[in-house]
Structure 1
Amino acid sequence: MYDRYRQKHLQNLLPLFCLLLILTGCDLFGGGTTVHKTQLKAPPSKQTYTIPEIGLENLDLETLDPALAHDPASIRAIQMVFTGLVQLDDQLQVRPQLAQSWSVSDDGLSWTFHLKPHLKFSDGTPLTSADVAYSIDRALQPATQSTIAPIALRLLKNADDLLAGRVTTLIGSSIQTPNDQTVVLITKEKAAYFPAMLTSSCSYIVEQSLIKTYTDKWTDHLGEGGGAGPFKVQQYTHHTSIIYVPNTNYYNAKPQLQKVTTIFYHSADEAYRDYQNNQLDLTTIPTSLTVDKRHKDYYQVPQLWENYYTMNYLAKPFDNIKIRQAFALAIDKQSIADTVWKGSVIPTNHIVPQGMVGYTANLTGPDGTTKLTGNVVKAKDLLQQGLKESNLTSSTDLPAITLSYVSGVDNFDQEVAALIQQWQKVLGVTVTPDPITDYNTLLDKITATTNNSNGLQMWGLGWVAEYPDPQDWLSWQFGQGAFNNNMNYGQNTSSHAAQQQIIQKQMQDADANTTESARLQSYQKAEQDIINDVGWIPISQVTSTFLRTTSIVGITNNGENLIPPDDWAHIYRVQA
């Protein structure tokens, strides 16, 4: 049950940092804040922060090249050194970074970004619009072999032609530089969410001279330059650690921490041991341990990651909406979260996750309630209605039902067993598990289910935000012809297909709507309609659980778990 583009092991991710002037403790689920006594700031020589990266293959980062990064560890490291035209703030809102401002043309296709004055790379070299154009074009060049840029930069006009080798560059066409301080990016369609897509690390700006000098080894020389982020690399010892120090040429307020060290660990047990010995400032919690959640250094943070199940609208019996609703309402999500996941996930009825712009707090399940324990009476009634509409007399007349999922990963075998048991108990329906050990095999079968009544009947997956915008969770999953619309929402012959197509059109209009409030309202309505139609059966929102010392202050925790560059100016160590 993974994002089809990248397997984000978020249990190892670090928290975001935010602007705080006093030491605070956050009520992560209630929204409250507890103010503690002001503590004395440690002297500059003690302004250090030491954190782990756990479970890396070969105990090393996969890459420090922004165009190539797709794993969380690499992206975290890249965020220290590089930045882009825009980035997310600690509330996951798109904010200017290298860009001072931007605007979009009346036709919604031309995006003009005005750079901040006097930008420099960390070696002091001026950073201009030509560097922006080079970096974005480089990410899409076939020779770069980025797996992320074709997704995050897919809206650029002629991006497909560049990837296919039909053109040699986008510079001068969809990437324009009218002067040193201005970049114009031209998209192939109207997309109000385009700036959110530019927060991907593949859009970050790199220094061309360093790449030309060292070619494919250029990231081993980041101490000489390369990026314009808040830090630069002081020392990278492969298979051991990486040390960052402040970038003295950073365009905004400089970091207060004078050294940030990331140490590579084989296991969470090793990192936890060093945390207990005060050698780390943060650690994940080994699965073998139970830690008191009331402890002052304990955090559990909802991530932009949802696990869900879905059904093929073209395959019987799930071509009937009432049968889909019956299956959804027979599930006790709270019980699964408590017994299978031991409280490490949050049960949910949502598609758009908690902690993201566009989240609808009062969204309901298909029964019109916010209950997470199911609705047995309603589920049984809907099943009977669905059977009648399908000319069946009882649940034993249903065709054989198979549930496909990735086996052997975390607790998903146990979750599927619990679901099957609940469907049998509530609905009297037998569901056969179809465990698939190879993730790519499952994805191939899911893709082959598009427009295919003989494809998979029901399957489980997870989705992790590619960019924190409702478009990524709604239009990109359920839109007309969307790559992920493998459940065939709106592309079926049911009596509800016409209404589904109306919802698809509403989402398409929202995608292009630059009035933010109206756009979000349209997405929220679409989400409720899709939940009622059981486009997904959302089960849980994944959380990140970790310990962090109270000696480091200025911290907030959000669902992307990446550190906004400007927040470092407000993060510091206090005296013990």
Structure 2
Amino acid sequence: MSSNKDSARFLAMTLCLLAFLLTACDLQNPFQPVQQVKAPKEKQVYTIPETSVTDFETLDPALARDTPSMNAIQMIFTGLVQYNNKLEIAPQLAQSWHQEADGVTWTFHLKPNLTFNDGSPLTSSDIAYSIDRALQPTTQSTTAPLYLSLIKDADQLLAGRIPTLLGRSLQTPDPTTLVIVTKKNAAYFLAMLTSPCSYVVEKSLISKYGAKFTDHLTEGGGAGPFKVAQYVHGQVIRFVPNTHYYNKQPQLQNVKMVFFHSPDEAYNAYLSHQVDMTEVPLSTLANARQGQDFHQVPQLWINYYSMNYLVKPFDNVKIRQAFALAINKTDIAKNVWQDTVIPTNHIVPQGMPGYNANLKGPDGTTNLTGNVQRAQELLQQGMREEGWNSTTQMPKITLTYAKGLSSFDQEVQSLIQTWHKVLNVAIVSNPVDYNTLLDKVTGATLNTQGLQFWGLSWVGEYPDPQDWLSLQFARGVPNNNMNYGQNTSTTLAQQQAVQQALVSADANPDAAARLKSYQQAEQQLVNDVAWLPMEQVTATFLRTPSIVGIVDNGQGIIPPDDWANIYRVQ
């Protein structure tokens, strides 16, 4: 018989063995995990591969429109407000703000003693100058006309009818106060101001170097958490902490973005510990999922299909619902996309403020595998309303989508087979190049002879429900190509009520009530099959466990203040 002492030692070692996969075990104290040790300052380096481009398109915040450029710009520059890692509006240069009773006047109070990263003072005049510069016709920004369009007379400046917004809708009553006047009451205005085109840039550097100022960012230029230490075009850009940053300093002492010719080259560099993260080749995805360095993060990106409400048979809500409910989205996500996407009924994606976890599909359930019986019932009801006795009497249906990606080809073929099997409806696929598809989609607006049925994706421009709902389905907006609320169907009045609810939500200053209104509108849009959402795309990547403190989010951004919590361990 073993002694009590032996039993205690055996129990301690057993507990250590059970805990081994999660943490190291100290035999002297089996319940105390060994703490991760922070690497010394000289090893606080984070290396990120860039594989989708050969160089940054620009480092000018007013001009940036591609993800790699904006990721670099986020390191150097900042604005009045930005998103935190929960994608909520957070103060940056602005310490506080308020919307006046008129709904169009916004007053921002800046943090005290702000400076650029070269130590020069930063005042409200610098922010006003930067916003005005982005909207100047000579700047030729493609993003400012979108994100800064709410500012009063922005359209007049862009058209060259007035010389400036300074002293007009951009006012600087004192060095720490900026007043912005908008053209309408828009509660989502702060979301628009998170765009890089509103970030502050140092006028003295632009005066000295003009459009080439981005080649001299080692001298200054921004007010973000980092400063450029080295930039070799097409090879590497290296950032070091901005010692003049207005909030807590970054812990990483060097952040490098290194350009690679291909994702495979970057993947091999990751395996040899030359970089700290990498995309996952599809051929290795199954094995990669088992590692502690694997990450899969839902992105603000929805793949969906649209049906033209002005073209038969999709002017009938029951027929649209039948098409939606015939699909097994879970099966397509698994067998076509190999689980790199999340099947969904949602328009507003997971990870967004206002995401409705309780949203139901058109059959009133959260089911993602289809509802064959209900789909068949709805199709029969819809055909009776149209006076058709069989599906052979339905107009020819053509599904148009962008060619070039095998997964979309497979998805469309799977959908066509499903609709034929479940609904006995024949559909013809029409793959076209992407630009042709966009032209045809635009041409469907208010067009009874326009495109009938198409597939597209929407990648969020800013994480506010307005971007996903009002911008897509409100009356007269450019993206309302399916003609929601602008048709002659029997549910038109209901659709227009949803549009009015969106207008009200857009202007509602009560954040909680605003999100609730958007959720109610989204549910009715899903019931109406304004979109037929299919899947939410995810980012799948490997990142070394040696880098800790990163909070992943749907925009793939690291907010400025988060860098204070990110560091390397040994």
Q: TM-score, normalised by structure 1?
A: 0.92
CA contact (8 A) 2:47 2:255 kept: yes
Q: Which has the larger radius of gyration?
A: 2
Q: Which amino acid aligns with 1:317?
A: P
In the other structure, the counterpart of 2:165 is 170
Secondary structure of 1:50's counterpart equals strand
Distance 1:121 1:373 in 2: 54
In the other structure, the counterpart of 2:420 is 424
Matched, 1:358 2:354: yes
Aligned runs of 1:67-146 on 2, under 5 Å? 67-146=62-141
Distance 2:467 2:399 in 1: 25
Aligned runs of 1:400-411 on 2, under 5 Å? 400-411=396-407
Aligned runs of 1:256-271 on 2, under 5 Å? 256-271=251-266
Matched, 1:436 2:426: no
Aligned runs of 1:270-419 on 2, under 5 Å? 270-290=265-285, 291-419=287-415
Cα shift readout 1:257-281 (whole Å, capped 9, x = no counterpart): 1000110011111111111111111
Secondary structure of 2:114's counterpart equals coil
**RMSD of aligned residue pairs (Cα, Å):** 1.1
In the other structure, the counterpart of 2:517 is 522
Secondary structure of 1:523's counterpart equals helix
Distance 1:530 1:239 in 2: 45
Distance 1:509 1:174 in 2: 24
Aligned runs of 1:442-521 on 2, under 5 Å? 442-521=437-516
Secondary structure of 2:288's counterpart equals coil
Please state how far the C-alpha of 1:409 moved relative to its aligned partner: 2.6
* Match among 48, 53, 56 for residue 51 of structure 1: 48
Q: Which amino acid aligns with 1:273?
A: N
Please state how far the C-alpha of 1:330 moved relative to its aligned partner: 0.8
Distance 1:42 1:244 in 2: 18
* Match among 187, 205, 209 for residue 210 of structure 1: 205
Please state how far the C-alpha of 1:37 moved relative to its aligned partner: 4.9
Distance 2:536 2:138 in 1: 37
Please state how far the C-alpha of 1:292 moved relative to its aligned partner: 3.2
Distance 2:34 2:528 in 1: 51
Matched, 1:186 2:181: yes
Distance 1:483 1:102 in 2: 31
Gaps of 5+ in 2: 1-21, 23-31
Please state how far the C-alpha of 1:551 moved relative to its aligned partner: 0.6
Distance 1:454 1:139 in 2: 39
Distance 2:492 2:385 in 1: 16
Cα shift readout 1:143-167 (whole Å, capped 9, x = no counterpart): 1111111111111111111111111
The structure-2 alpha-carbon separation of the partners of 1:513 and 1:37, relative to structure 1 and needing over 3 Å to count, comes to farther
Matched, 1:41 2:27: no
Gaps of 5+ in 1: 1-24, 26-34
Cα shift readout 1:83-140 (whole Å, capped 9, x = no counterpart): 0000000000000000000000112100111110100001111000111001111111
Q: Percent identity?
A: 63
Secondary structure of 2:218's counterpart equals helix
Please state how far the C-alpha of 1:410 moved relative to its aligned partner: 5.0
Cα shift readout 1:550-574 (whole Å, capped 9, x = no counterpart): 1111111110111100111111111
Please state how far the C-alpha of 1:336 moved relative to its aligned partner: 0.8
Cα shift readout 1:333-373 (whole Å, capped 9, x = no counterpart): 11111111011000000000000100000101000010111
* Match among 538, 543, 550 for residue 548 of structure 1: 543
The structure-2 alpha-carbon separation of the partners of 1:49 and 1:497, relative to structure 1 and needing over 3 Å to count, comes to same
The structure-2 alpha-carbon separation of the partners of 1:36 and 1:251, relative to structure 1 and needing over 3 Å to count, comes to farther
Q: Which amino acid aligns with 2:141?
A: S
Which runs of at least 4 in structure 1 moved beyond 4 Å after TM superposition?
none
